[in-house]
Amino acid sequence: MAKFVIECPSCGKYAEARTGFFARKKIDCACGYTIHVRTDKLAARKCPHCGNEVVFDQSQGEKARCPVCHEPINTMAEQTKVEEFSCAQCGVRLQASKSASTYTCPVCDFVNDVPERLMAEKIKKDGLASVIKYEGDNETLVWKHPIEDFNLGSQLIVHESQEAVFFRDGQALDLFGPGRYTLETQQLPLLEKVYELPTDTEGTFHSEVYFINLATQMGVKWGTDSKVRLFDPASGLHIELGASGEFNLRVTDSRRLLLKVVGTTGALGQGDLLGGGSTRGIFRALVMTQVKSYLAQVIKESGINVLEIDARLMDLSTALRDKINEGLRDYGVTMPEFFVSRIVTPDDDPNFKRMKEQYAEQYLLVRQEQIRKSEAEAARERKAVEAQTAAQMKIIGAQGEAEALKIQRAAEAEAYRMQAAAEAEEMRMKGYTYQQETARQVGLEAMKNGIGGGEGGALGDIAGLGVTLGAMGGVIGMTREALGDITGSSAQLGQSIGGMVSAPAAGWDCACGAKSITSNFCPSCGAKRPAPPAPADAWDCACGEKGLTGKFCPQCGAKRPEPKAPDTWDCPACGEKGLTGKFCPQCGARRPEPKAPDTWDCPACGEKGITGKFCPECGKKRGE
């Protein structure tokens, strides 16, 4: 049964285990982890000799070998061997176990990568470096390779967003972009001028290699170390403000940055830009001076209200970025973004309190003025609406009266029409016409009054006929038009009465050839009797009724339109009046052209060609 050392997978410490059938299969580590010997005996470890990550069986004890270089990998000497190296940050000499992965420097608290530091010590001791690559973090702008002696044929690896610059005696020589390079004489033209390089590939040369990180450094915080005194242009008071925020930084010219800023410094990180505590800030004075100077200048030139400055932070950020970049351009860096995220106002400053009170009073005055203007505007609009409403009500009233009159006339005409239709239907049923009924009534009245015989002669008959006609007018409602033919001399009156009593109704001739037809329709072809011609003074109503002779329309009650006055004119030359022709008959002067009517367009509803004082559509008064 053999003993061997097994590593705890949890804490990395070593415990003693045994091989054999009766050996313990589980071991309790001091950290509390239970080591399963059969499963945890296979371990992965980086070989301290070749640097490869290999898997080996810990149960073989000191006989365990690296499968790559075949060197002992599990001996107590290898596990407890102490190596010495320099801290990557402060340079102090440190000692740590060769098998340790990291070691924290007790001086500067920097976490060193032990295998990397041991390899660097070995390369430095041998004076050669086979691989040259960037080994800094992403927050580092410039990193100097710790090895300064290189052999021709070494591999230079430059990652994306990086550049590598070779220096000799403070002079920047060759610059390499992203890629993998084999250092040969044809790839080092400037080095070849400085050095007398050997022609064989085993030759070495001494140089300094700087790696420049071209990636944008994000979120670098800044803040003013003291208050910025400025004069508020609106209130006329002096106040003090503080500002803070973040900015992003990017390298634009590697050579200029190395020559003017880095120099012989081993590295340049974010903490070196503005510093903090005991760290010196390279650009601190430049940024603070620009911010203090241009913050007050931008507020003054732009007329920014300090109480509303948060709404103008983007304008301030852009203006300050442009000013600061003018100074950074000489050092090979630029700020693509600069943010003013906070403005610290002096709330306990009496001037600041007074300024807030002034702005509050000014706001109240402006608000009151706006309210007064709004009330006056509302009053004007209310008056305009009232006037418009009154005008519309007048129009509606006038239209209502006209409509009522129209309805009344229409009702009277309808009643008259219905009465006439009833009388006509009654006469049609009895079998005689209106003319026959009129003649019959006249005859009856004449007989009652003794016309045609008796004492008194013709004059007495005529007088009796007058009485008879007056009575008939009251009985059958005859009008002057109905009795128009019963006028004139006594002879004519007698003839008219005789014709009405004894003469048959006047006949009419049809187009088919039938003549002296007394009925309303032709007995031969059925054609309707043509309507008698309208009187010369007849007129047509707007409702469609035609050939009217009375003063009112029997259908709708509309009044007969007044005849238009003749279009006359007065001669401006001789004074002749009432002329109707185109030329004056006295002096021959030509009739002047009529003036165009004075019309206007309504601005409210768009009605055009209005001649009155009020718009007929919306009632708006002319000139408002």
529: DSSP letter: P
For β-strands 131-133 and 155-158, DSSP reports them as: parallel
Asked if residue 340 lies in contact with residue 227, where contact means CB atoms within 8 angstroms, the answer is no
Domain spanning 217-346, CATH architecture: 2-Layer Sandwich (3.30)
Phi, psi of 72 (to 5 degrees): -60, 135
User: Which pLDDT belongs to residue 337?
Assistant: 92
DSSP string, 418-470: HHHHHHHHHHHHHT--HHHHHHHHHHHHHHHTTTTSSTTHHHHHHHHHHHHHH
| Angle between helices 434-448 and 490-501 in degrees, nearest 10 | 120
Q: How many CB atoms lie within 10 A of CB 571?
A: 20
Amino acid in the structure at residue 290: Q
Task: Calculate the CA dihedral of residues 230, 233, 238, 241 and round it to 10 degrees.
Answer: -40
Burial class of residue 347 in the structure, from the number of CB atoms within 10 Å of its CB (0-12 exposed, 13-18 middle, 19+ buried): exposed
Non-local CB neighbours of 143 within 8 Å, separated by 6+ positions: 134, 135, 136, 210, 211, 213, 266, 267
Query: From CA 608, how far away is CA 624, in angstroms rounded?
Result: 15
Q: What share of the chain is helix, strand, coil (3-state, %, to 5)?
A: 35, 25, 40
Q: Which residues of the chain have pLDDT under 50?
A: 186, 192, 194-202, 278, 452-503
User: Which pLDDT belongs to residue 457?
Assistant: 46
Taken in order 571, 577, 578, 580, the sign of the CA dihedral is negative
User: Which pLDDT belongs to residue 91?
Assistant: 81
Query: From CA 110, how far away is CA 289, in angstroms rounded?
Result: 33
Non-local CB neighbours of 259 within 8 Å, separated by 6+ positions: 170, 172
Asked if residue 347 lies in contact with residue 242, where contact means CB atoms within 8 angstroms, the answer is no
User: Which pLDDT belongs to residue 459?
Assistant: 41
Beta bridge partners of 244: 223, 342
Taken in order 293, 294, 296, 297, the sign of the CA dihedral is positive
Q: What is the pTM of this model?
A: 0.40
Beta bridge partners of 246: 221, 339
Q: Where are the beta strands (DSSP E) in 461-580?
A: none
User: Which pLDDT belongs to residue 163?
Assistant: 92
Distance of CA 460 to the CA centre of its chain: 103
Amino acid in the structure at residue 147: I
User: Which pLDDT belongs to residue 264?
Assistant: 60
The CA–CA distances, whole Å, from 197 to 63, 155, 181, 371, 437 equal 47, 17, 18, 89, 153
User: Which pLDDT belongs to residue 473?
Assistant: 46
Looking only at Cα atoms, what is the longest distance across the chain? 187
DSSP string, 561-606: PPPPPP--B--TTT---SB-SSB-TTT-PBPPPPPPP--B--TTT-
The CA–CA distances, whole Å, from 153 to 133, 156, 187, 600, 610 equal 14, 9, 11, 100, 103
Asked if residue 300 lies in contact with residue 230, where contact means CB atoms within 8 angstroms, the answer is yes
